[in-house]
Amino acid sequence: MANVGIMGAGSWGTALALLLHSNGHQVTVWSISEEEVKMLSEEREHKSKLPGVPIPEDMAFTSDMEETVKGKDFIVMAVPSPFTRNTARGMSPYVTDGQIIVDVAKGIEESTLMTLSQQIEQEIPNADVAVLSGPSHAEEVGRGLPTAVVIGAKTKKTAEYLQEAFMNQVFRVYISPDRLGMELGGSLKNVIALAAGIADGMGYGDNTKAALITRGIAEIAQLGVKMGGAIESFTGLTGIGDLIVTCASVHSRNRKAGYLMGQGKSMQEAMDEVKMVVEGVYSTKAAVKLGKMHDVPLPIVSKVNDVLFAGKDPKEAVNELMLRDSKAEHLAMPWKEE
């Protein structure tokens, strides 16, 4: 049995806390909000984010960061991506050498273009930072529905330790050494999910969504491999798997925000209605910058950026995507000589 600290009491942090508790671990969950701590401690249910899912009486909630971090066998970092750096900075004094931190959020910092694990390592250089990613909506994990994810770590020893801690009969865990590829896939798929949602909101069909998913993973993989990620990460659970679920699911906040924008709402109106952090919005500008930096064309990502931040009409953006210069689907496939 491990003693685990969970940083973040949102839907994902709470769902993973329940999972780890069901595996026999002792769990303490931190929230920055005293009001949220009080609600969870007294009502034993996260009614706004995981309604109908009971929370065990012996799961502790606190707003004391030191209590959550100090002496724990590993820490789960489940705060929304825009708050990862500041949370890591606050945790830093309490983290001991080699203490494991598992980041489970997804995003890229616009100002530095760092992944979340890179941000954590910069703020807490003595930590052993791992990542957990894959197609895994909190609403389903919290209810115990079968799910498969990947844990990436610097060493196989850490990956296997975490694999054993998280895995059970409804939560299958694979391991990988490719943290970078996993994080890029998990972050950039949120941008494509915004595009899929916009298309749904405009009344487009399954053909459109299939095209966005397929061409979207092509963009993500091309950039990710250029940056040093492994192609297997983009063809597996942390790439195409995560992209499919985020583009198609009713639980996806990115798809929902896109859907609302496709119906004519502004980015801010859509984010306000979703009432949770729409991480794709924060990753879009960073993705555009990475594409330019590595000389990789990202047509879908670029059009999403235009819709979000340049006031482009979504229908015009779709028309521009469809009417781009004609090309082969896979440039690496040669023609036979006639």
Strand partners for 76: 6, 102
43-66 pLDDT, tens digit each? 999 988 899 999 999 999 999 999
Mean pLDDT value of segment 201-228: 94
pLDDT at residue 69 in the model: 98
pLDDT at residue 32 in the model: 95
Q: Which domain holds residue 306?
A: 180-322
Instruction: Let me know whether 126 and 243 are in one domain.
Output: no
pLDDT at residue 203 in the model: 93
- Residue 206 inside a domain? The answer is yes
> Among the listed ranges 4-18, 186-200, 323-337, which one has the minimum average pLDDT value?
323-337
pLDDT confidence bin for 249, thresholds 50/70/90: confident
Mean pLDDT value of segment 131-146: 96
- Residue 288 inside a domain? The answer is yes
Crossing angle (nearest 10°) for helices 84-91 and 116-123: 30
Mean pLDDT value of segment 15-33: 97
Instruction: Let me know whether 280 and 138 are in one domain.
Output: no
pLDDT at residue 323 in the model: 79
pLDDT at residue 128 in the model: 98
pLDDT at residue 36 in the model: 95
pLDDT reading at 332 higher than 80: no
pLDDT confidence bin for 315, thresholds 50/70/90: confident
- Residue 68 inside a domain? The answer is yes
Instruction: Let me know whether 34 and 161 are in one domain.
Output: yes
From 124, 158, 177, give the residue that closes a domain.
177
pLDDT reading at 291 higher than 90: yes
Instruction: Let me know whether 115 and 20 are in one domain.
Output: yes
Task: For 194-232, give the secondary structure using H, E and C.
Answer: HHHHHHHHCCCCHHHHHHHHHHHHHHHHHHHHHCCCCHH
189 tagged catalytic: yes
Instruction: Let me know whether 214 and 166 are in one domain.
Output: no
Instruction: Let me know whether 142 and 156 are in one domain.
Output: yes
In total, how many domains does the chain have?
2
Mean pLDDT value of segment 76-87: 95
- Residue 328 inside a domain? The answer is no
- Residue 333 inside a domain? The answer is no
From 133, 155, 177, give the residue that closes a domain.
177
- Residue 336 inside a domain? The answer is no
Instruction: Let me know whether 76 and 43 are in one domain.
Output: yes
Instruction: Let me know whether 232 and 155 are in one domain.
Output: no
pLDDT reading at 150 higher than 90: yes
pLDDT at residue 18 in the model: 97
From 112, 146, 177, give the residue that closes a domain.
177
Q: Mean pLDDT score of the chain, rounded to an integer? A: 94
Instruction: Let me know whether 249 and 160 are in one domain.
Output: no
Instruction: Let me know whether 76 and 161 are in one domain.
Output: yes
pLDDT at residue 251 in the model: 84
pLDDT reading at 320 higher than 90: no
Instruction: Let me know whether 160 and 276 are in one domain.
Output: no
Catalytic, out of 106, 189, 285, 303: 189
CATH number at residue 313: 1.10.1040.10
CATH number at residue 131: 3.40.50.720
pLDDT reading at 16 higher than 90: yes
Q: What contacts 179, CB < 8 A, 6 or more positions away? A: 115, 117, 130, 131, 152, 153, 154
- Residue 117 inside a domain? The answer is yes
Calpha distance 75→81 (Å, rounded): 16
pLDDT over 90, % of the chain:
81
Instruction: Let me know whether 9 and 144 are in one domain.
Output: yes
pLDDT reading at 75 higher than 90: yes
- Residue 334 inside a domain? The answer is no
